[in-house]
Amino acid sequence: MALIDVPSETLLVEMGKDGLNILETTMQMSSNDENAPVICDLCSKPLGKMKDVKHIESPETITIAVRNGFKPEEMLKATKDMLKGMGEKNPDDLMEIVFESWKSIVDKSETPWALCDDCYKSIQLYIKKRGSCSAKE
């Protein structure tokens, strides 16, 4: 058993409507059994073992991506398929609720997220978006 430390001590600040917001940061270490299978936290794709995971993002990063408009399409699609499989006739009606509750999970999340290549790339796109509208005086 080995400990894998994922420090997240970056302080995140952003200019909001009401002034400077300091997004809460938590210093924490996560430890995992390195032989435990890991799945992508966004699309549930198997990533192999903990030590093989290439992309680990802090929950703050995910929160920023979501604020910038990121939607976990794969997760939503899988949920929709699941609802259809359960006999739900109008799964689209529920997707907004599913997305909202997912967002609240992101807000509360304090553990690093393991991501597959695809999800990592899509998250990065949304993180780079920020800054384009931040320099207003």
Closer to Zn ion by Cβ: residue 38 or 64: 38
Answer for which of 47, 56, 119, 123 binds Zn ion (CB under 5 A) is: 119
Tell the smallest beta-carbon distance from residue 96 to Zn ion (Å).
22
CA distance 13 to 21: 6
CA distance 88 to 102: 19
Closer to Zn ion by Cβ: residue 3 or 78: 78
Per CB under 5 A, 42 contacts Zn ion: yes
Site stretch for Zn ion (CB under 5 A), options 15-23, 44-52, 63-71, 103-111: 44-52
Per CB under 5 A, 53 contacts Zn ion: no
Per CB under 5 A, 43 contacts Zn ion: yes
Per CB under 5 A, 116 contacts Zn ion: yes
With left for phi above 0 and alpha for psi between -120 and 50, is residue 69 left, alpha or beta?
left
CB 42 within 8 A of CB 113: yes
Pairing label, strands 113-115, 55-57: antiparallel
Site stretch for Zn ion (CB under 5 A), options 6-14, 21-29, 45-53, 99-107: 45-53
Give the 3-state secondary structure of residue 57: strand
Residue from 77, 67, 42 nearest 57 by CA? 42
Site stretch for Zn ion (CB under 5 A), options 4-12, 48-56, 60-68, 111-119: 111-119
Residue from 60, 91, 58, 61 nearest 76 by CA? 91
Binding stretches for Zn ion (CB under 5 A) = 40, 42-43, 45, 116, 119
